[in-house]
Structure 1
Amino acid sequence: MSSDPGGDVDVLLIGIDACCLPILEPLFEEDRVPTLQSIWEAGPSDELESQIPPWTASAWPSLYTGTNPGKHGVFDFLRYDGYDWGVVNADAVGEHSIWELLDHHGLESVVVNVPMTYPPDEINGAVVPGFTAPENPPCQPEGILDEIREEIGEYKVYPTPGGDADAFEEYVDSVGMRSDAFRYLADRFEPDFGFVQFQVTDTVFHQYGYEEELVAEIYEAVDREVDRILEETDPNVALLVSDHGLGKYEGEEFRLNTFLREHGYVETTRGGAGMPSWQTIREQSLRKGEEKTEREPTMLERGVATAAQFGITTRRVGRVLESVGLDEVAKRYAPAGIVKASDEQVDFAASRAYMRSRVETGVRINLEGRDPEGKVSKEEYETVREELIELLEGVEAPDGEPVFEDVARVEEYFEGPKVDRAVDVMTIPNDWNYFLSAQLRDELFAPPAEPWNHKLYGIVTATGPGIEEDADLSGAHLLDVAPTILSALGVPRSDRMDGAPLEVVPPSEEMTYPEHEEGASAAAAGEDVEDRLADLGYLE
């Protein structure tokens, strides 16, 4: 363990994105992560059930507010205004975070690399935003990022997208950056609450798939830094948690919009219309932090879109290239927008129902009076919902297995004033083994575009002199983390929280806090964020 000086933190929360038992257990057997293993085996530990949907942008706000998405309002990496879209940031989170509630009581926090914390809250302490922030984001207090860099050297929000050995080294290095920044701030501020998150334990799978040695190297780096953080901050209570799990999808990719097109719900168009796709944004500038979500098509893209109207599409050209062995070369070097420009897209304004984004995990009805050009009247709404539920419940994969574990009205999964931001029909994949896609293709089923992806169960474990060592964490849920942290600090938890304190600490009282004021700039994220989402497969 390191003997470097550090600042004390009373209650510590360490987030390890996508960490789960199927990933940890082989590492335990090979003695690759001794710190995590010792914590897991010595203290109260169990699986942590995530929310529906178990995706980063929505799950971390659920964890740090203790409320379901129907209350905090984030369901996806994107936020919608009619048929327009923008990348979501912290201004879209409509409930108080742990550190905001602590600030209300005069307590200080340090928060480093937590997703959905840009733009940062003005609190007692420090916030260095994580995922969905632009590179070089504004931090709290102003100027603290420059101070961090002067102290520890380079600090980047995003490592270079993967693919080669040099890029992977940046992934490993980023783990140390998070730890160095957090430990410096913990020493500088000596906060009551500290929260540091490691994202690359998820990102490595999206960028590299399951490469056993690469995953082990990432987890070894996290293990070393967890050891250093615990040693130097000496918390009374420490929780290690993940927002969801991750594993191999054994089933097929199911193209939901293709299915809805076959059944008359989806209308289509060509020429680059429709919701954002990785093809349109992959070549956009990544880390400039420009407040822009729209992009003008190039002259070549407009030409390709025109050609598509006459049936000359990139897929037709692709078949010819494949026949002469040049398809992979074309994919690598063709301007990305050209591919999207000729693809058939969902015409959202003309459709009756559609999947906007696979991350939303469901179907949106184009409702009259709610959506700008709604095609389903309010009188038809429940009938159409029932039709969709009955239709989707019957979907079977090629091997005869049901694709969906549950198809249900959205209100069966969420409750709160922001449910109307969600889809209308939830489509829960069977055992999270089927990869849902919003893309329109000729084939209804295909091998998963990303065979390693999110699962429902992460982990929770606790350590420190202030915990109940024999606490039972069975049945722990993501929504229980925030009330547990507040209880550990003896601070009243919000009566709007959906979770309850875990048994590791005595529960605090509830109180009513002022309503959270939602920010105004949620739709204005940088192009860098769009590119990151594309690189990680969250935008198709």
Structure 2
Amino acid sequence: MKRRPKVMVIGLDCAEPSLVFDRWLDQLPNIRRVMGSGVYGRMRSSDPPITVPAWASMMTGKDPGQLGFYGFRNRNSYDYADIGLADSTSLTEPTVWGLLGKQGYQSILLGIPPSYPPKPIHGHLVTCFLTPDRSVSYTYPDSLAEEIEKEVGEYQFDVAQFRTAQVEELLKNIYRMTKTRFATARFLLQHKPWDFFMMVEMGIDRIHHACWHLMDENHVLYRPSPHKNAILEYYRYVDGEIGELLSVVPPDTRIFIVSDHGAKRMDGGFCINEWLIKEGYLKLKKAVQTVTPLKPDLVDWKRTRAWGYGGYYGRLCLNVKGREPDGVIPRNQYEQVRNQLIKKLKALTDELGRPLNTKVFKPSKRYLTVKNIPPDLFVYFGNLYWRSVGSIGRGKLYVYENDTGPDGANHDYEGIFISALNRVGKGGQQLPRVHLMDMAPTILHQFGIAPLKGMRGKKIPL
């Protein structure tokens, strides 16, 4: 009788390859063992390289254009104020666990964005960091929540206010969240049937944003701190939890340890809307003297050609005649204006006049198809060393802190990919380029299922 395969995916949101593979590997024995028994490499993230849509892209083999969402916040319509938040209802493309369920395979899913609100699956599910709190339905089936609370205690989806200067309290919350998540994972693995298991731990992302500038002496905000080793100590803790998790699964289980993107220091923030005002693309009804978010009622839309949003990357939208309510750019000038903006954005410099090395792309050039409403341009300021600051009223283009609270790190293009069977073996082979979308067809192959038409990823040689 053919062996029924088992596959485990341990997702570490934002785990950075330069830290895992190079700087700290000798202090991460469990991760090192899996690497040494199989294959590993840097894994290119989605565009944009952020949690939503990256995990969804990984588990569908589809790019954000095919998925139809381009970040946590997306335009629902061409109305200026109609911005919606992505959640599980936004994910309509077939997922790995959905395809496995059709073949009778059971899944356990824990914290995979975007999975709130919970959808029925063939198996058991606990929702992700988008869940507001435990007062809502956050498991499938519903009864699973009571089991978890009884066995593990209060389940924690995320840490509140991870952009804070209160590092001690934040670290306690991150450790508490991670301890609870891995305890829940072990409970589910030992008490529920499964063929496919996947979890995503958010703690690495949160501690990067909170503490990167305390670790990195090249950071503009670096100061000597008793928390200089906080990130290293947390990576070591997570490695220990991974070891505990691997001890409760069979040795023939195919293990994947992956991250959706990496991290790097944040050199500053570029004020996208201040720049658009300065360049004459964005017109306000009247001058704003205090720092405030750009709200639609502040804008003179009949004289505005472009506006932007803040975040780890910049989203720039054009005000097109016949598309937006008060559009001014004639459709036959759309590409001309976009190309003009690309040229200007790529020529940006920092405060000292040095090239900022900003990357800009059009959605149609990066995605197989473009569903729903993407930004007209995606902007990676400073090649992701700078974030996009959307607020106005600053009177300057450059800032050196996040406009949404303290933050020392930005996201980077590459995460980690590690895979092996759950036993000591000969391996340690470094792979060339691997893409996040390769994960879906690779997992399906473990179960003898062919990739769906439209999946952009390719099977990774294991």
CA deviation after TM superposition for structure 1 residue 489, in Å? 1.7
Code of the aligned partner of 1:485: I
Quick check: 1:348–1:354 contact (8 Å CA) kept in 2? Answer: no
Matches within 5 A, 1:343-354: 351-354=304-307
| Paired position in structure 2 for 1:148 | 148
Matches within 5 A, 1:379-398: 379-398=332-351
Q: What whole-Å deviation, never above 9, does each CA across 1:349-392 have from its counterpart, x for those lacking one?
A: 76311113434533111223333332222222122112212222
Code of the aligned partner of 2:416: I
| Paired position in structure 1 for 2:377 | 425
Distance of 1:188 and 1:124 partners within structure 2: 16
| Paired position in structure 1 for 2:277 | 261
* Residue 228 of structure 1 pairs with residue 225 of structure 2: no
| Paired position in structure 2 for 1:55 | 50
TM-score (norm: length of structure 2): 0.85
Q: Secondary structure of the residue that 1:482 maps to in structure 2?
A: helix
Distance of 1:111 and 1:201 partners within structure 2: 19
Distance of 1:198 and 1:348 partners within structure 2: 42
CA deviation after TM superposition for structure 1 residue 460, in Å? 0.5
Code of the aligned partner of 2:444: L
| Paired position in structure 2 for 1:3 | none
| Paired position in structure 2 for 1:35 | 30
* Residue 241 of structure 1 pairs with residue 258 of structure 2: yes
* Residue 214 of structure 1 pairs with residue 230 of structure 2: yes
Code of the aligned partner of 2:85: V
CA deviation after TM superposition for structure 1 residue 122, in Å? 0.8
Matches within 5 A, 1:423-502: 423-440=375-392, 441-449=394-402, 450-464=407-421, 469=427, 473-502=431-460
Code of the aligned partner of 1:408: F
Distance verdict in 2 for CA 1:398–1:411, change over 3 Å: same
Quick check: 1:68–1:414 contact (8 Å CA) kept in 2? Answer: yes
Percent identity for Structure 1 against Structure 2 = 25
Distance verdict in 2 for CA 1:99–1:352, change over 3 Å: same
Identify the range of structure 1 (467-476 vs 143-152) with the bigger mean alpha-carbon deviation. Answer: 467-476
| Paired position in structure 2 for 1:186 | 189
Identify the range of structure 1 (19-28 vs 218-227) with the bigger mean alpha-carbon deviation. Answer: 19-28
Distance verdict in 2 for CA 1:397–1:341, change over 3 Å: closer
Distance of 2:54 and 2:295 partners within structure 1: 34
Quick check: 2:35–2:428 contact (8 Å CA) kept in 1? Answer: no
Code of the aligned partner of 2:84: G
Quick check: 2:17–2:415 contact (8 Å CA) kept in 1? Answer: yes
Identify the range of structure 1 (484-493 vs 460-469) with the bigger mean alpha-carbon deviation. Answer: 460-469
| Paired position in structure 1 for 2:222 | none
Distance of 1:374 and 1:347 partners within structure 2: 11
Distance of 2:295 and 2:256 partners within structure 1: 49
The gaps in structure 1 that reach 5 residues or longer are 1-7, 271-308, 316-338, 505-540
Distance of 1:256 and 1:13 partners within structure 2: 38
Distance of 1:481 and 1:459 partners within structure 2: 12
Distance of 1:429 and 1:179 partners within structure 2: 36
Quick check: 1:60–1:115 contact (8 Å CA) kept in 2? Answer: yes
CA deviation after TM superposition for structure 1 residue 194, in Å? 0.2
Distance of 1:99 and 1:48 partners within structure 2: 21
* Residue 15 of structure 1 pairs with residue 15 of structure 2: no
Identify the range of structure 1 (360-369 vs 85-94) with the bigger mean alpha-carbon deviation. Answer: 360-369
| Paired position in structure 2 for 1:97 | 95
| Paired position in structure 2 for 1:285 | none
Quick check: 1:479–1:498 contact (8 Å CA) kept in 2? Answer: yes
Identify the range of structure 1 (215-224 vs 204-213) with the bigger mean alpha-carbon deviation. Answer: 204-213
| Paired position in structure 2 for 1:319 | none
Distance of 2:381 and 2:293 partners within structure 1: 27
Q: Secondary structure of the residue that 2:410 maps to in structure 1?
A: strand
TM-score (norm: length of structure 1): 0.74
CA deviation after TM superposition for structure 1 residue 434, in Å? 2.4
Code of the aligned partner of 2:46: Q
Code of the aligned partner of 1:182: A
| Paired position in structure 2 for 1:531 | none
Code of the aligned partner of 1:242: S
Distance verdict in 2 for CA 1:388–1:468, change over 3 Å: farther
Distance of 1:438 and 1:179 partners within structure 2: 36
CA deviation after TM superposition for structure 1 residue 215, in Å? 1.1
Code of the aligned partner of 2:269: E
| Paired position in structure 2 for 1:198 | 201
Q: What whole-Å deviation, never above 9, does each CA across 1:404-461 have from its counterpart, x for those lacking one?
A: 443332211122141x521112323344222222222211123243342111111101
Distance of 2:386 and 2:297 partners within structure 1: 23
CA deviation after TM superposition for structure 1 residue 110, in Å? 0.4
Matches within 5 A, 1:315-354: 351-354=304-307
Quick check: 1:368–1:375 contact (8 Å CA) kept in 2? Answer: yes
Distance verdict in 2 for CA 1:348–1:133, change over 3 Å: farther
Identify the range of structure 1 (485-494 vs 349-358) with the bigger mean alpha-carbon deviation. Answer: 349-358
Code of the aligned partner of 1:150: K
